[in-house]
Structure 1
């Protein structure tokens, strides 16, 4: 073989090796991308939304309505659905009290701070879910109705199938992270429609703006309800893995529509986006233009899609790291369980147990008086090595309120630290 032939053979062989290597790399990269959970994808890929007519179920607006993601605290709507079933059947009454187990008390925030052995009435439990989105209370309900949270989650999934929510699986009662707890905007819209129709007698609870728990006012997380004309509920949701979710309902001129947004980057952006798509829904109801299958398929919506998705991402970025869903089952790296990351908090101490932390937060609330009319006590339990630290916080402030609160406590020679959104 001549030198030219040997050179050509070497070149061909080298090319084959490089091509094989590139092909293997591309296959590996594609496989790894496919295996990434939804939370690891670019944020805009998490966005999904739907608006339906509550009267006939027609789709008025939709973007990726069947995209599967984590429902976060929208989960609690199904928890309440089953509680309303129990009320209607006579199994429970609003005055029935339910015991608090160690498992319920150990849930991550947002929570009421219940302790093992406490009892809470059904009505207070309902109010705590629709305002505070209390994870400890969700488990109390689960254990009261299902015997255990696992059994209750199976009940939730069975009810979902009865309602036509075929893409939804529940693993817990609260919406705290679980890799297998999955739903879609379409399914959540079906649930919103069903609870308003099938439990109309109890639906008014979702309109609650504030209730008092042990003398402390607790305000709703659902700010859209406070601002959007005709809005009367129903539930916010947030974990790091899903972004900011919202199931909303509004009624105008006797017509109710239900909207769902998954994957907002901030609470404020999610709310702005919801207001926009509800406006579109009402416009289509008025025009009699129903049966829209996908916003992307509509020419007039194509121009709006980027703007609507961007609306979920405007404002201050959440700054939260991506949640490790693999560790979420074991209660690690939970992030915030439906805490509003656009609100500020103050921390008045860190303690080795729950009781002194709660006492410090209560004392600070008393000292602040009117400044805490819209804030709530949150005892944040965090792991520090093999032990736990209980951070005594008051949450739900604007930045100005939080700064004013710390200034007042400083004058009284009390510890106070500002906690920025998502801290």
Structure 2
């Protein structure tokens, strides 16, 4: 009997040894761990571990795809309503997928939601094709943008982060990218905190909803998973005046990665000072390779004698802000014209010709960038030139309501797709237990017609000049700045002015470009900021409401 037990034990030992030999290579190939924690406000590094080690970023790559998509929308290269024809390349991507088919047409806004919320590989690839034409061209633009943002150790090969030789990044670079998304495109950032979204073809669920629900103050940003990368996450959270962003590479599971991220963010909140300077990162500049995709400059040669205003488009409502903009442009043009006429009459040396490139391109000019309606002198005895540069700018339309602060516990969402080279999307929906942050509240906007009036400023002939100068007038569309915010009614003009000044100092970032205006009403004096775009006004009101200040968006 004893001999039988000994023999059985020997077989068990040999079996365990054989299993160790089988699974040892798998353990050896586990993705390396890396992490970085940063104070979002100042950019100060609070913790790092292997932060500059080049690893597989997986679907964290989609942060760059979305950054470029937002950038392209801001520059007028495409719009949220543009219908994209799905290529075979995009439709053939493995899960996670939205389910796009070759030749299918879908709006850009739905591709953005699917890529950001569901982390759909086919949606991300379709965005890249829509912006640059094909995968290789878009990857080249991703790399140029990464370099411009200061991501020193990142190389992209595709738009979705599927494993590809040389497709590598670091915890530091991905944290920098997440910080740029927050500061460069605050009007779009709220999409990363949505637990669900309408992606046109289907309602999609956020791959990061478990962490968003469980961690206090979490409001983004992006998950990533592939076999080579492990479970990755870049996350942002705000508590009080502190905002922390962190990145984890190489998690062993969703639960382990989320627990590690919670530990890192807790560390960041404990180490970050209560007060810290806000050092906004510099936005990526317009690169020469992208300049050709921007709206082109229109040149009209010939002597300009009159410059009438174009007729307004039908059904475009008027607004006080439009009158203010027209009055300011006209006053500025008159002032510049008088100065130039005086310079010509006094025989002042005239500046050499000014060469203006296409919008977003280079301008070989000794003058700083001129504002709409300004006048620049050129060489004598040359025909006059008017340069009209119009850069359309779309507004990100929020069509889904913000998540309520408390939700009924939802049942698990199980999809038919198997986990492949994409994010896991098999997590249950949890109740929202944290208060939504004002910076990431959904800014519900409605599509509005833009006032595309072009203001051309012309120079009146100087009295008996000895030489002729060339007049160059630069103009652009109104940019949709017919909106503003109202702080309510006050008993006196002085009280309204004081309230405007106080709020302007309090919210310099969101109200710095707006004009303060007091309007006399029957019930009192209304304090308003005017000359804003819709998303600027929405963001300003969201911030003021978070400070318990009365605020209402006003518009055409």
Q: What is the TM-score with the length of structure 1 in the denominator?
A: 0.60
Q: C-alpha displacement at 1:378, in angstroms?
A: 4.3
Deviations 1:296-316 (Å, cap 9, x if unpaired)?
A: xxxxxxxxxxxxxxxxxxxxx
- The reply on whether 1:375 has 2:413 as its aligned counterpart is yes
Aligned counterparts, 1:196-207, within 5 A:
196-207=182-193
Match of 1:146 in 2: 132
Match of 2:66 in 1: 80
Deviations 1:49-101 (Å, cap 9, x if unpaired)?
A: 00111122110111111111000000000000000001111222221221101
Larger Rg: 2
Q: C-alpha displacement at 1:119, in angstroms?
A: 1.5
Aligned counterparts, 1:58-97, within 5 A:
58-97=44-83
Relative to structure 1, is the Cα distance of residues 234 and 191 closer, same or farther in structure 2, using a 3 angstrom cutoff? same
Instruction: Report 1 or 2 for greater relative contact order, CA contacts < 8 Å, sequence distance ≥ 6.
Output: 1
In structure 2, C-alpha distance between the alignment counterparts of 1:266 and 1:379, rounded to whole Å: 19
- The reply on whether 1:396 has 2:426 as its aligned counterpart is yes
Is the Cα–Cα contact under 8 Å of residues 109 and 378 in structure 1 kept in the other structure?
Answer: no
Aligned to 1:125, which of 86, 103, 111? 111
**More helix by proportion, 1 or 2?**
1
In structure 2, C-alpha distance between the alignment counterparts of 1:155 and 1:263, rounded to whole Å: 27
Equivalent residue of 2:73, what SS?
helix
Relative to structure 1, is the Cα distance of residues 267 and 379 closer, same or farther in structure 2, using a 3 angstrom cutoff? closer
Equivalent residue of 2:165, what SS?
coil
Equivalent residue of 2:186, what SS?
coil
Q: C-alpha displacement at 1:379, in angstroms?
A: 4.7
Q: C-alpha displacement at 1:255, in angstroms?
A: 2.7
Aligned counterparts, 1:231-380, within 5 A:
231-286=218-273, 375=413, 377-379=415-417
Q: C-alpha displacement at 1:396, in angstroms?
A: 2.5
Relative to structure 1, is the Cα distance of residues 232 and 184 closer, same or farther in structure 2, using a 3 angstrom cutoff? same
In structure 2, C-alpha distance between the alignment counterparts of 1:215 and 1:73, rounded to whole Å: 21
Q: C-alpha displacement at 1:161, in angstroms?
A: 0.4
- The reply on whether 1:174 has 2:204 as its aligned counterpart is no
Q: C-alpha displacement at 1:201, in angstroms?
A: 1.3
Query: Larger deviation: 236-245 or 54-63?
Result: 54-63
Aligned residues: 270
What is the RMSD of the two structures over their aligned residues, measured on CA atoms? 2.8
Relative to structure 1, is the Cα distance of residues 103 and 90 closer, same or farther in structure 2, using a 3 angstrom cutoff? same
Relative to structure 1, is the Cα distance of residues 82 and 265 closer, same or farther in structure 2, using a 3 angstrom cutoff? same
Q: C-alpha displacement at 1:41, in angstroms?
A: 4.2
In structure 1, C-alpha distance between the alignment counterparts of 2:65 and 2:54, rounded to whole Å: 20
Q: C-alpha displacement at 1:221, in angstroms?
A: 0.6
Is the Cα–Cα contact under 8 Å of residues 113 and 379 in structure 1 kept in the other structure?
Answer: no
Aligned to 1:230, which of 206, 214, 217? 217
In structure 1, C-alpha distance between the alignment counterparts of 2:224 and 2:113, rounded to whole Å: 16
In structure 2, C-alpha distance between the alignment counterparts of 1:200 and 1:395, rounded to whole Å: 26
Equivalent residue of 2:172, what SS?
helix
Is the Cα–Cα contact under 8 Å of residues 108 and 381 in structure 1 kept in the other structure?
Answer: no
Deviations 1:122-153 (Å, cap 9, x if unpaired)?
A: 11111101221100011100000011011000
In structure 1, C-alpha distance between the alignment counterparts of 2:235 and 2:54, rounded to whole Å: 19
Is the Cα–Cα contact under 8 Å of residues 69 and 183 in structure 1 kept in the other structure?
Answer: yes
Is the Cα–Cα contact under 8 Å of residues 111 and 199 in structure 2 kept in the other structure?
Answer: no
Aligned counterparts, 1:3-152, within 5 A:
41=28, 43=30, 46-152=32-138
Relative to structure 1, is the Cα distance of residues 260 and 176 closer, same or farther in structure 2, using a 3 angstrom cutoff? same
Query: Larger deviation: 221-230 or 147-156?
Result: 221-230
Is the Cα–Cα contact under 8 Å of residues 84 and 130 in structure 2 kept in the other structure?
Answer: yes
Which runs of no fewer than 5 residues in structure 2 stay unpaired?
Answer: 1-24, 278-408, 429-556
In structure 2, C-alpha distance between the alignment counterparts of 1:283 and 1:68, rounded to whole Å: 28
In structure 2, C-alpha distance between the alignment counterparts of 1:39 and 1:186, rounded to whole Å: 27
Q: What is the TM-score with the length of structure 2 in the denominator?
A: 0.46
Equivalent residue of 1:396, what SS?
coil
Equivalent residue of 1:50, what SS?
strand
Is the Cα–Cα contact under 8 Å of residues 128 and 159 in structure 2 kept in the other structure?
Answer: yes
In structure 2, C-alpha distance between the alignment counterparts of 1:68 and 1:380, rounded to whole Å: 28
In structure 2, C-alpha distance between the alignment counterparts of 1:157 and 1:378, rounded to whole Å: 34
In structure 2, C-alpha distance between the alignment counterparts of 1:171 and 1:41, rounded to whole Å: 26
Is the Cα–Cα contact under 8 Å of residues 216 and 376 in structure 1 kept in the other structure?
Answer: no
In structure 2, C-alpha distance between the alignment counterparts of 1:285 and 1:395, rounded to whole Å: 33
Aligned to 1:193, which of 170, 176, 179? 179
Which runs of no fewer than 5 residues in structure 1 stay unpaired?
Answer: 1-37, 291-370, 383-393, 399-423
Is the Cα–Cα contact under 8 Å of residues 229 and 249 in structure 2 kept in the other structure?
Answer: yes
Q: C-alpha displacement at 1:216, in angstroms?
A: 4.0
